[in-house]
Amino acid sequence: QSALTQPASVSGSPGQSITISCTGTSSDVGGYNYVSWYQQHPGKAPKFMIFDVSNRPSGVSNRFSGSKSGNTASLTISGLQAEDEAFYYCSSYTGYNWVFGGGTKLTVL
Amino acid sequence: QVQLVQSGAEVKRPGASVKVSCKASGYTFTSQNMHWVRQAPGQGPEWMGIINPSGGSPTYEQKLQGRVTVTRDTSTSTVYMELSSLTSEDTAVYYCARDSGRHSFDHWGQGTLVIVSS
């Protein structure tokens, strides 16, 4: 059982926006602004998408954005594209280790 | 460009040990910490440990303490992860991942599948 809770699946049509939630506790998500998000296509390594809750690494589309409220972080993808279909994982630093969510399968209809 | 190249897949018997390597290139090896993360089939990633390639003691996930050892060889820019007393629950893809400097993982190796089966 993963430390951070994500919905198992979300879906949206091309061009729409979706949001994936990531719920933790005051010891991880709520206690630090070190939430990050990763995209993973089947059989591939995760790809770095968001760090420090809402910052995008260079090269990541501005269609991806992150936010946090209390113990819940969120990833929003706007203008959905077919290539966005993948698994998405959140992660948080806890002060002494790192924890991940169980992952959310995004389906682009 | 940053590259992390890992060793190949392994099949091990229960009770055995496995050692996975991760060779870094494209940046100064000693400038960034390196993590090990594993992902069991159909599961989310699980953090295992971190090492500072410049030196100092690695830090491990508490549940793996005593079974996992992370080392580095600065002469070859390679990090190693050894896991002992393997059980079927250790069957997973094992990744090395570079720390971004912001408590996140900015570059990942291609993954090494470790299967534990009798």
In this prediction, residue B89 carries a pLDDT of: 97
Q: Which two tokens stand for residue B33?
A: 């910490």
Q: Is the pLDDT of residue A3 over 90?
A: no
pLDDT digits (tens, 9 = 90+) for A59-101: 999 999 999 999 999 999 999 999 999 999 999 999 999 999 9
Determine contact, residues B95/B36, Cβ cutoff 8 Å: yes
Distance in angstroms (rounded) separating the CA atoms of residues A65 and A42: 22
B105-B106-B110 Cα angle (round to 5): 90
Partner-chain contact B102 A52, CB within 8 Å:
yes
Determine contact, residues B8/B73, Cβ cutoff 8 Å: no
In this prediction, residue A1 carries a pLDDT of: 66
Determine contact, residues A72/A22, Cβ cutoff 8 Å: yes
Region of A30 please: left (phi>0), alpha (psi -120 to 50) or beta. alpha
Q: What is the mean pLDDT of chain B?
A: 97
pLDDT digits (tens, 9 = 90+) for B40-54: 999 999 999 999 999
Look up tokens 């990633």; give the residue: B45
How many C-beta atoms surround the C-beta of residue A75 within 10 A? 28
Kindly give, in sequence order, each residue whose CB lies less than 8 Å from that of residue A61, ignoring residues fewer than 6 positions away: none
Partner-chain contact B104 A2, CB within 8 Å:
no
- B107 contacts in chain A (CB < 8 Å): 48
Nearest to A48 among B45, B62, B104 (CB): B104
Determine contact, residues A17/A76, Cβ cutoff 8 Å: yes
Return the minimum-mean-pLDDT range out of A24-28, B55-59, B108-112: B55-59
Burial environment of residue B52 by CB neighbours within 10 A (0 to 12, 13 to 18, 19 or more): middle
Distance in Å, alpha carbon of A76 to nearest chain B alpha carbon: 19
Diameter of chain B by CA atoms? 41
Q: Which two tokens stand for residue A20?
A: 């994936």
Helices and strands of chain A, counted as H and E runs? 0, 9
